[in-house]
A and B are shown apart, each in its own frame.
Chain A
Amino acid sequence: MAPTRSFDPRDPEFRTDPHRFFARLRREDPLHWNPHLKAYALTRHRDVFQVLRHPHFLATPMRANTATLLRRSGRSLPTLDRLIEAAVLFDSTPGHREARRMLVATLNMRPLGEYAPLMADVTDRLIDALRGRPSFDAVSDFADPLPVHVIHRVLGIPEELFDTLRAATWGLDGLFNYVKAIRELVAWDAQCRTGFAVIDDLVRQRRAAPREDGITRMIALAAQDGIDHERLVARIFFLIMVASDTTSATIGNAIALALATPGIVDAITDPATTAAAVEELLRLEGTALFAARYADRDTELAGLAVPEGTVAYCYLAAANRDPEAYPDPDRFVAGRGGPPHFAFGDGIHACIGASFARLEARIALHAFFTRLGPLRRVEAGTSWLPLDAFRHLARLPVAVD
């Protein structure tokens, strides 16, 4: 028998259909040493669970790694560094807990249900603009703008700034790529300068004249925690970035899968099963492909002794289709039960916006499939944005029947 082919995770074929590669790895080589990544690739539910909860597997130190790369190329990008510093996902220091708490408090400034009317309003406006059109792009006309508008409105950002901020956050999820070009880092730094300038201005305005909005709330939380102005600005921008792209991708992926698989649209449109359907869609085609961790000392990885510095890629999307955890894992079964999936990660870096995103996805998908009538895909094949860590559709043209 041929040995398991080592997969190149940057191969376009892998990007198109990672599940095929994962199924084979899970079966034949669950603790796969990948020479391209110089890291282990984990694909089983139990191994991913163990590493994400492991006290000695920490988030990869993005800030230090980026600084090293830039130093060796004779550069420094201080604005991008501020964004990475604000990115709690890459932070394993005690400051992480405090930063997380603040972001959670921002999203939970009201009972979650109170966001529902705002989310429904954003959804309805986008759908109103699509009604009567024989065809449209479900990604650029619906899935992509929806979460962007929601988080901007939660924060109290005026509508005329939406486009500027969208351009400033666009593509920054490439920060999670396995390998980043220095030219990309330079471009992202410039985007951060634009975005930070917009936020900086808004924070100053809200300080002078507080409002009932997310930015005003974050100013108060920052004051409690002793967070300075610069860090607050970066944190707000980071929140916009993560609340936008991940939820956009989640909604787009869900629409694509629903259009390709019988039974899903019915499960979404029945209010009794909408939540269960969204949960199952998150499991099957959540956006986050992996979470990277490294060992901060000599330790054990799925029963193997590994030295300090060992890197493990926890493939969340693979664990979510592990037949050991979910029998017949590629099938959509709303309310199937089984262990919690990893669409929002797990452990100390589990997504802080999970409840917010779930609510948003339920409202968006239910309205999309209820109000627009029977839809079908008009293009074969699927094109994904060239991102390593996220599955995010580039486009999804649909026709209304």
Chain B
Amino acid sequence: MTSTPTRPKLRTTAIKAWLAGHLHDVLGIPTEQITADATFETFGLDSVDGVVMASELETAFGIEVDPALFLRNPTLEAVFQELQDEGIADIEHDG
């Protein structure tokens, strides 16, 4: 995996809002169900959805992530952790 030389600062609320919008558009999932600890499995995502989401996340935030990011991590909380641990972004927990 490659990490960007200057790590962008990403707010958890921004990622959460993006994901809620994406899942609402693609799968019709009510926005209020998207929380940091909700498991992706409960939304009925399949592996193709996960890879598409990773690609959309890259485009939305200008980062490069593992295509299996949403397949390997069960929750948004875990995704935040991986982005931080892998040095892909500085995650700012703002709610």
Contact code string A95-109 (vs B, CB < 8 Å = 1, else 0): 000000000000000
Residues of chain B contacted by A68 (CB below 8 angstroms):
48
Per-residue contact bits, chain A 28-62, to B (CB 8 Å; 1 contact, 0 not): 00000000101000000000000000000000000
Bits for A180-212, please: 1 = Cβ < 8 Å to B, else 0. 111110000000000000000000000000000
Chain A contact residues: helix, strand, loop or mixed: loop
For residue B77, CB closer than 8 A to chain A, the reply is: no
Q: Which residues of B contact A183 (CB under 8 A)?
A: 55, 58, 64
Pairwise interchain contact A10-B58, C-beta atoms closer than 8 A: no
CB distance from B48 to the nearest CB of A (A): 5
Inter-subunit contact A179/B58 (CB<8 Å): no
Q: How would residues 50 to 81 of chain B score, 1 for a CB under 8 Å from any chain A CB and 0 otherwise?
A: 01101110100000101110011000000000
Q: Tell me whether A72 and B49 are in contact (CB under 8 A).
A: yes
Task: Determine the distance from Cα of A184 to Cα of B67 in the docked complex, in whole angstroms.
Answer: 10
Q: Is B47 an interface residue (CB 8 A)?
A: yes
Among A10, A38, A72, A184, point to the contact of B52 (Cβ < 8 A). A72
Residues of A within 8 Å of B67, CB to CB, are 179-182, 184
Bound Cα distance from A241 to B48, whole angstroms? 26
The yes or no answer to A73 lying at the interface (CB within 8 A) is: yes
Q: Contact at A69–B48, with CB atoms within 8 Å?
A: yes
| Complex contact A182–B68 (CB within 8 A) | no
Which residue of chain A is the closest to B64 with respect to CB atoms?
A183
Q: How far is the CB of B15 from chain A (nearest CB, A)?
A: 18
Chain A residues with Cβ below 8 Å from B71 are 36, 179
User: CA A116 – CA B56 in complex, angstroms?
Assistant: 50
| Cα distance, A186 to B52, chains bound together (Å) | 13
Question: Which residues of A have CB within 8 Å of B56?
Answer: 73
Q: Chain A: which residue is nearest B52 at the CB level?
A: A73
Q: Is the CB of B72 within 8 A of A181?
A: no
Given A10-B68, A36-B72, A181 contacting B55 (CB threshold 8 A): yes
Whole-angstrom distance between the alpha carbons of A266 and B72 in the complex? 46
Cα separation A178 to B72 with both chains bound (whole Å) = 12
- Give A18 Cβ to nearest chain B Cβ, in Å: 18
Distance in angstroms from B4 CB to nearest chain A CB is: 13
The smallest C-beta distance from B30 to any residue of chain A, in angstroms, reads 21
User: Which residue of chain B lies nearest to A65 when distances are taken between CB atoms in the complex?
Assistant: B48
> In whole angstroms, how far apart are the Cα atoms of A9 and B60 in the complex?
29
Extra 18 A-B pairs, beta carbons < 8 Å, given A36-B71, A69-B48, A73-B52: A8-B72, A10-B68, A36-B72, A68-B48, A69-B52, A73-B55, A178-B68, A179-B51, A179-B67, A179-B68, A179-B71, A181-B54, A181-B58, A181-B67, A182-B52, A182-B54, A183-B55, A183-B58
Q: Please list the residues of chain B having a beta carbon within 8 angstroms of any beta carbon in chain A.
A: 47-49, 51-52, 54-56, 58, 64, 66-68, 71-72
Between A and B, 10 residue pairs with Cβ closer than 8 Å are: A36-B71, A72-B52, A73-B56, A179-B51, A179-B66, A180-B67, A181-B67, A182-B51, A182-B54, A183-B58
